[in-house]
Structure 1
């Protein structure tokens, strides 16, 4: 099986979004591996050699930021956020669509504004030469990464929201139970 066939099998997204999702999930997976190795090394060093890694907490904070913000656009595009729809049965479809448009606007504009402020803070941090305590990592670059991923997430909110509003009956996410049920029906 070729790589593009594998990618098409495992990713439902289309075009550039599929490649962006794959790339961001590779970043998240590598970061998670680094976190696992870092934690194991720190614990082994602490209990076997009575000496832990000095920069373990610093690297853990940076890795968690990279991991969380790499997954935010993917989770947003796949509709993986928690949605409370208790009142949907009592409200008409037009009101639900209007509230959906309002929520898309509020979430995307909030993310955009927060990302703009975060990017400004990252620029200021780079100008001041702020570095991490043990490894002297320029923290402005990490902060700017958070801003860029927030901008991408804001774009994901807009595109996902418009997609859901234009195609409300299209399934956007499939759970493992849904796919296993459909696979068992196809097998019969």
Structure 2
């Protein structure tokens, strides 16, 4: 089975979103694999060789940031966030859909402005040449990555909100 056929069989999204979701999930999966190998190697080294891997904590923190922020746009587009539907039985279908659309716009605008602030923090980190404590890795790179992924998540949230309004709201 070719890669295109496999992606078509396993991803419901349309063309550009399908490939973006695949790429982001590959980043997350690779990061998770490397995180697992790092943790196993560190534990093995600590208990059997009496020597752990230097900087494991910093690498784990960075890997978790990469993993979480790579999956945020995919989860957002698929509508996989936790939804509390306690009052859904009391409200009409139109009100529920409008509230869902409103929440999509509020979340996307919040993520956009949050990403702007995070990007300013990344610029400040680059100006000050801030690095991690042990491995001396530049912290601005991971902070900038978080800002970019937050912008992508904001874009997918607003796109998902419009998609819901145009196509799903018809049911």
Shared fold per TM-score greater than 0.5 = yes
In the TM superposition, residue 169 of structure 1 has moved relative to its aligned partner by 6.5
Residue of structure 1 equivalent to 2:84: 84
The TM-score normalised by the length of structure 2 is 0.95
Query: Is it true that 1:121 corresponds to 2:124 in the alignment?
Result: no
| Aligned-partner Cα distance in 2 for 1:130–1:112 | 24
- The answer for the alignment partner of 1:70 in structure 2 is 70
Superposed CA RMSD in Å reads 1.5
List, as ranges, runs of 4+ consecutive aligned residues in structure 1 with deviation greater than 4 Å: none
For residue 167 of structure 2, what is the aligned residue in structure 1? 167
The structure with more radius of gyration = 1
Ranges in structure 2 where 5+ consecutive residues have no aligned partner: none
Name the residue aligned to 2:152.
152
TM-score (normalizing by structure 1): 0.86
Deviation digits for residues 48-105 of structure 1 (CA, Å, limit 9, x no counterpart): 1111122000000000000000000000111111111121121123322331232112
Cα separation, partners in 2 of 1:92 and 1:169, compared to 1, 3 Å = closer
Consecutive unaligned residues in structure 1, runs of 5 or more: 172-188
Aligned positions, number: 171
Q: Which residue of 2 aligns with 1:105?
A: 105
